[in-house]
Amino acid sequence: ANPMTSVLPSLPIASVTAGVATSLAGLAFCYPSSCIATLASLGLIPVAAVFTLLRALHNECDGPTARARLPLGAYNGKCVWITGASSGLGKEFALQLGKLGAKLVLSARREGALADVRAAIIEQGAPATSIVVLPCDLSDLGALPAAAEHAIQAFGGIDVLINNAGFTQRQIAQRTSFAVDIQMTTVDFLACVCLTKVLLPSMVANGGGLIINISSIAGKIGLPLRTAYCASKFALHGFFDALRAEESGHGIRVTNVCPGSVRTNIARNAVTGDVGQLRGDTDANIEAGLDPSWVCERALAAAACGLFESWLGRKSELYLPYMAHYLPDFTKVQVMKKARALVEQTLAAVEAPKES
């Protein structure tokens, strides 16, 4: 069982019948944003909040993300550095940006997989000279400044940094070694900070830049079995929201993308009790998750349109950030109640005798 989906059936709003929910979502979608803004201006904040949520559920993303349209030539000729580009969302970002005419620096640990991605982009019609493979391990913070300098030198500067690389977990904190917390915080948060700090001076000198962080719905609400992952994503939001405020006068833009379940191998590669112990199995909600191509297309459009944050998720997941925002205590209590059963299931699975 996965808490991101199993938390929700206990919530009253999730008990609305599918037909009624679909009808309400359709009704809310018919009302323009100006109507919702009018409701809010009249002091009907709860009503406006409900209509905002229903519009989001209709689109499987928040309203601004749904309405975002990629400006013509937004990424054409731009130098884009993508971390975690060998698979999953990172690979999809690379393929789409290659079609959009971007110059690409592709990074991940597996050089062979990066070479395959590069070949696929060239096969789409991109010139070979527009794609550079730059292998690096984000867990090695000491090596990252040099890697960033190489990325800058590849095309004379980086216009867009996509902090995509990262991994998650599937274990309770009590059964997880502190080494996992260190590694996850390093890869999912500190590496993003390190690369950004090296790139910032050149971005500012060139008139600005765009930083796209691939966060998660788990960066908006604490979910069980993901303590280190949630902490890293929460930290990502805190740092980059503050950075956006500091650097807004220098042309630095930041978009934090918060997807729910996406059909990638993130659950299979999730760490369990210790570093190197991988789960090796996926989640039902991941298998039924969003199409990576659609997620990347929406994220690129949202970032190009200057959105500060973009939420994407199936209807059963998109409730979470909205409820956490409007009903924080209530949502935490519901997560806590459901977490008890999930923890018991996890411990039972860990302690069950293994068949030889």
Sheet holding 252-259, edge to edge: 131-133, 103-107, 79-83, 160-163, 209-214, 252-259, 309-312
The reply to whether 75 belongs to the active site is no
Active-site entry in 31, 75, 229, 326: 229
Q: Spell 333-346 as b/e; 16+ CB within 10 A means b.
A: ebbeebbeebbeeb
Supply the residues annotated as catalytic.
229
